[in-house]
Structure 1
Amino acid sequence: MFQALFKIEFLRSKEATFWFIIFPILLTILLTSIFGDIEKNAKFRIGYIGENRFVKNLEDYFEVLKIEKVEEIVGKNLDAVVVFEDNFDTKLQRALFLSKTKLFKPVNVEIFYTDKEYSKVVKDILVNIFSSLNALNSDKEVKLKVIKREKSISYSQFLYASILVMNIMSVTFFGFSSQISFYKRQGLLRRINCTPYSLGKFYFVYALVSLLQIVFANIIFTLFDFFVYGVKADFLNISIYTLFGSVVFLSLGYMMASLIENPETIVVLGNILFQVFMFAGGFYFDVKNAGIIGILSKIIPSTYLVDGIRKSFGYYAYKNHFLIPLIWVVFSISFVALSNIIKRKKASSNI
Structure 2
Amino acid sequence: MALGAQVWDRLRPDDREWLCSLAREAGPGARVALVGGAVRDALLGGTPLDLDVAVEGRAAGALAAASGLPAVVHPAFGNAAVTLPDGRHADLVRARRETYPVPGANPLPLPGTLEDDLARRDFGLNALGLEVPPEGAPRLLDVTGGLDDLRTRVLRPLHPRSLYEDASRLVRGARLAGRLELEAHPELRRQVPEALDMSGQTPRLWAELRLLLQEPKPGKAARALTAWGAGELLPAGAAERLEALDARRDAGDDLSPTAYAAALLSAAPDPAAWAGRLGLGEKPGALLARALGDTPASPGSPEATLRALLRPEAYAGLSGRDVVARGVVPGPAVGAALAHLAALRRAGKVHSRSEEEAALTAYLGEPGPTPSPG
> Scaled by the length of structure 2, what TM-score is found?
0.23
Q: Which has the higher helix share?
A: 1
> Scaled by the length of structure 1, what TM-score is found?
0.24
